[in-house]
């Protein structure tokens, strides 16, 4: 077996501490941001359910829901609430579009380098403008 | 088990890889459809205040769908978080603690969301 001396390829995860030192291709950036956005939404889940709870339970709680964006929640200022919600908006949009991209790749096997790049461009082209639009609305720019 | 030898032997154990991969995609499709259903209802004409917002979720079919989506989200997020812990956290003890935390976090949040939904 002459082949056995050939070094076998090694595949490993990029560790979280190495992310910044790698120059990732655009598809790689979409991929790591898919994870980052998932973690953000996982950690902010109680905020999502708090918003779900106060906006639905009664008209009195609905007042608390709307005032969270004006007066804040308890000791948390409104600006921080808005920032967290902006994070959720971006997280949801990116995760949604990148997720549909995944389903698309699963269904069509469009996994060439060129496809990966063009669909990554499309992912950002959809998620970022929508984030800007919702974010501007959130911060009362229109 | 009759084919479990030679070139056809089973070389992996738990078989949760495909199941979880599939579950993550099915739950994703459910959540995406839920998003579309919600967006369509929000885009219907009329002022959007408490009455209309609460009205959307108090219809029985929407409660049914929302309940399914809450469970889907918890399951989907569990698979994703577990993948992340398995990729980045190697010490077994810390990984176990993070797995337990993720499960408690998701089960607790799902319970809270269901409580809100069923109060309506």
Domains of chain A, with CATH numbers? 24-138 (1.20.1300.10)
Residue bearing the bigger pLDDT, A10 or B120: B120
d(CA A98, CA A95): 5
Q: Please state whether A109 falls in left (phi above 0), alpha (psi between -120 and 50) or beta.
A: left
Percent of chain A with pLDDT over 90: 75
pTM assigned to the model = 0.88
Q: pLDDT tens, A121-137?
A: 999 999 999 999 999 99
Domain count across chain B: 1
Q: pLDDT tens, A59-106?
A: 999 999 999 999 999 999 999 999 999 999 999 999 999 999 999 999
- Give A5→chain B minimum CA distance, Å: 24
- Chain A touched by B77 (CB under 8 Å): yes
Residue A3 pLDDT class (50, 70, 90 cuts): low
- Chain A touched by B67 (CB under 8 Å): no
Q: What is the CATH number of the domain that holds B47?
A: 1.20.1300.10
Residue bearing the bigger pLDDT, B73 or A9: B73
Residue B12 pLDDT class (50, 70, 90 cuts): low
Percent of chain A with pLDDT over 70: 96
- Give the residue from A104, A33, A113 showing the smallest Cα distance to B32: A104
Structural domain contains residue B11: no
Structural domain contains residue B41: yes
d(CA B56, CA A14): 44
- Chain B touched by A14 (CB under 8 Å): no
Domain that holds residue B74: 17-119
Rounded to an integer, the average pLDDT of B46-70 is 95
- The pLDDT score that the predictor gives to residue B2 is 58
Residue A29 pLDDT class (50, 70, 90 cuts): very high
Q: In A, which residues are within 8 Å of B32 by CB distance? A: 96, 99-100
Structural domain contains residue B45: yes
Structural domain contains residue B25: yes
- The pLDDT score that the predictor gives to residue A2 is 54
- CB pair distance less than 8 Å for A38 and B84: yes
Rounded to an integer, the average pLDDT of B50-79 is 97
Answer yes or no: are the C-beta atoms of A25 and A33 closer than 8 Å: no
- The pLDDT score that the predictor gives to residue A15 is 72
Answer yes or no: are the C-beta atoms of B109 and B73 closer than 8 Å: no
Residues 6+ apart with CB under 8 A from B85: B95, B98, B99, B102
Q: Which of B18, B80, B106, B114 to mutate to test the interface with A (most CBs of A within 10 A)?
A: B80
| Mean of pLDDT over chain B | 92
Residue B3 pLDDT class (50, 70, 90 cuts): low
Residue bearing the bigger pLDDT, A52 or B17: A52
């Amino acid at each position: 077996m002459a082949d056995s001396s050939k070094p076998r390829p090694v595949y490993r995860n990029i560790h979280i501490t190495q992310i910044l030192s790698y120059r990732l291709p655009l598809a790689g950036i979409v991929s790591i941001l898919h994870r980052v956005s998932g973690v953000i939404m996982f950690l902010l889940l109680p905020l999502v359910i708090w918003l779900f709870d106060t906006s639905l339970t009664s008209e009195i709680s609905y007042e608390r829901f709307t005032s969270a964006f004006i007066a804040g929640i308890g000791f948390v200022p409104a600006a921080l609430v808005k920032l967290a919600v902006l994070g959720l908006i971006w997280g949801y949009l990116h995760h949604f579009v990148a997720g549909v991209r995944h389903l698309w790749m699963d269904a069509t096997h469009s996994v060439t380098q060129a496809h990966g790049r063009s669909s990554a461009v499309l992912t950002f082209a959809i998620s970022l403008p929508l984030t800007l639009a919702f974010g501007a609305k959130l911060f009362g720019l229109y | 088990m009759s084919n479990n030898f030679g070139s056809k032997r089973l070389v992996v154990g738990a078989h949760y890889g495909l199941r979880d991969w599939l579950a993550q995609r099915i739950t994703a499709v459910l959540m995406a459809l839920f998003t579309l259903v919600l967006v369509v209802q929000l885009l219907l004409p009329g002022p959007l205040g408490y009455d209309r917002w609460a009205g959307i979720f108090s219809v029985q079919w929407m409660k049914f769908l929302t309940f399914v989506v809450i469970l889907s989200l918890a399951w989907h997020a569990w698979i994703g978080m577990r993948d992340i812990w398995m990729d980045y956290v190697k010490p077994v003890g810390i990984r176990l603690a993070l797995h337990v935390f993720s499960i408690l976090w998701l089960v607790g949040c799902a319970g809270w969301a269901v409580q809100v939904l069923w109060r309506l």
